Amino acid sequence: MTFDYELTLIKLTYAENDMGDSISNEERITILCDVLSVTRAEHYQAASHGMKPEIVFIVNQYDYSKQTIVEFEGNKYRVIRDYKPKKAKGLEDFETIELVCEGVGNNAIS
């Protein structure tokens, strides 16, 4: 893994304003990642449950804190599954997590 790409992890937090309205805020952190395609088997299995996985990001497990939204190259994605490989393929894969994501519209997240 070369981790040549930047990925922004987004955690939504909520607070109340002076009027008592709930306001959402984004806590963003930019990390390095690698990018993979979704496998055919995973695509069809997820589709049978109404999900549409589009992309897989490989991140260091110490960078990821269960954020549910990520941004990559100007597009936002929802994390539909995180997965720690049971057996590392190589030493560089030892501390990684795969984030399987589906695309969302930029205004669809709240």
Please give the pLDDT value at position 38: 84
- With bands split at pLDDT 50, 70 and 90, how would you rate the model's confidence at 90? low
- Say whether pLDDT at 91 is over 80: no
Number of H helices and E strands in the chain, helices first, is 1, 6
- Number of domains making up the chain: 1
41's tokens: 């088997």
Range(s) of the domain holding residue 30? 5-103
**By C-alpha distance, which of 27, 19, 10, 14 is closest to 71?**
10
- Domain of 40, CATH number, reads 2.40.10.270
Residue 64 counted as domain residue: yes
Residue 110 counted as domain residue: no
Residue 59 counted as domain residue: yes
Residue 109 counted as domain residue: no
Residue 53 counted as domain residue: yes
Query: What would the mean pLDDT of 49-78 be, rounded to a whole number?
Result: 92
Query: What would the mean pLDDT of 13-42 be, rounded to a whole number?
Result: 90
